[in-house]
Amino acid sequence: MNDVVHVLVVSSVTPALLQQMRSVSTRLLVEDGAALLLNVFGAALRPGQAPPQPPAEGSDLDEMLAQAEVILAPRRLPGDTLQRAPHLKWIQATSAGIDFLDNTGILETDIVLTTASGIHVVPMTEYVVTAILYFTKEVSRLMENKNSKSWDRFNLRELKGQTIGVIGLGNIGMEIARVTKALGMNVLGVRRSKPSVPVPFVDAVYRPSDLGTVLKASDFVALAVPITPETKHMIGEVQLREMRPNSVLINISRGSVVDEAALVVALKEGWIGGAALDVFEAEPLSLGSELWDLPNVFMTPHISALSDQYDDRAAGLFCENLRRYLAGDQLINQVDKSKGY
């Protein structure tokens, strides 16, 4: 079978990466619709992302969608993509989550969905380690001393022997476990199913029903779960009260995994020692949020996954999946729609 496969790239990539995709097979007709999609949404590019190439003369997003069999998509697509792309068979997301497809109807079809899970492993793990060191080495106090020119010497805690609870043992969670174990930490993990064999770098694995056991034992709790109906607000008042008074919550998953209102109370009243937050229930975070002013919060604007290697890794994954698609093989990171990831 040598039919032409129309591939629509609406994630902004460099000409070199577009050529890399086209070189996978002569059967591929790869079109660049990134600039046209950007015009529709008027959205800003991801920091460090290549600006889209000017659209070819006469190019039209409707025509591209009408022919597309495969789409490489950023975290946005027109809400009526399903109606405008009748030949669509597969969407490759450049993100680890597919919640941007909610309310499009695509999740209720047999269109294959694949994510970029795995390409964020290095930067997100490094972010978690940064957050752990920020609190363990009291970086905020050190910076205050520098700014006030205060020669204030004090003991710094060590990571070795402290315990981290990794909630979610997917690609990112497993790398967090590996790196923190290398730093001498005790590692507890939570995953949906209890493994039949020991999990590398994890001292003990628990089911979600035993989350409280992990929270009570952990100095740091790193959230690395997808957003599903089961994980929405999985960290609320009950769970925050189960954590240690000096423990730190690290959220790199999705903001709605945590009940933000309960978290603010927990931070203000000392139920927990601090929080490192890269994601929030509503983004950008409202200027009226109390989180901005809490001294025990380390926060960033949803950048833990960003890296100068992001586009290269995403393109490499897409090219491998294109080869598999043409060969009729199983795609990498194919979403189980019944689970939501």
DSSP string, 301-330: SS-TT--TTHHHHHHHHHHHHHHHHHHTPP
Query: Residues 243, 272: contact at Cβ < 8 Å?
Result: yes
Q: Which residue is listed with tokens 């660049």?
A: 32
Q: Is 24 helix (H, G, I), strand (E, B) or coil?
A: coil
Query: Residues 263, 236: contact at Cβ < 8 Å?
Result: no
**Cα-Cα-Cα-Cα dihedral sign, residues 255, 259, 262, 266:** negative
Q: Which residues contact 240 (CB under 8 A, 6 or more apart)?
A: 249, 262, 263, 266, 271, 272
263-309 per-position pLDDT tens digit: 999 999 999 999 999 999 999 999 999 999 999 999 999 999 999 99
pLDDT score of 339:
83
How do the domains of the chain map onto residue ranges? 5-118+307-327, 121-299
Q: Is 221 helix (H, G, I), strand (E, B) or coil?
A: strand
Q: Which one of 254, 260, 281, 313 is the catalytic residue?
A: 254
Provide φ and ψ at 187, rounded to 5°: -120, 120
Query: Which among 271, 279, 230 is positioned nearest to 251, based on CA atoms?
Result: 279
> Is 283 labeled as catalytic in the residue annotation?
yes
Q: Which residue is listed with tokens 């729609």?
A: 337
Rounded CA gap, 289 and 267, in Å? Answer: 13
pLDDT score of 57:
63
pLDDT score of 85:
96
Query: Residues 53, 32: contact at Cβ < 8 Å?
Result: yes
How many residues would you count in the chain? 341
Q: Is 240 helix (H, G, I), strand (E, B) or coil?
A: helix
Bridge-based pairing of strands 28-32 and 90-93 is unpaired
Q: Which one of 22, 75, 302, 324 is the catalytic residue?
A: 302
Question: Which ranges of the chain have pLDDT less than 70?
Answer: 1, 38-58
The CATH code that applies to domain 5-118+307-327 is 3.40.50.720
Rounded CA gap, 192 and 15, in Å? Answer: 41
The pTM for the full model equals: 0.88
Q: Which one of 144, 230, 269, 283 is the catalytic residue?
A: 283
Fold of 121-299: Rossmann fold (3.40.50)
pLDDT score of 162:
98
Query: Residues 12, 50: contact at Cβ < 8 Å?
Result: yes
Rounded CA gap, 125 and 54, in Å? Answer: 35
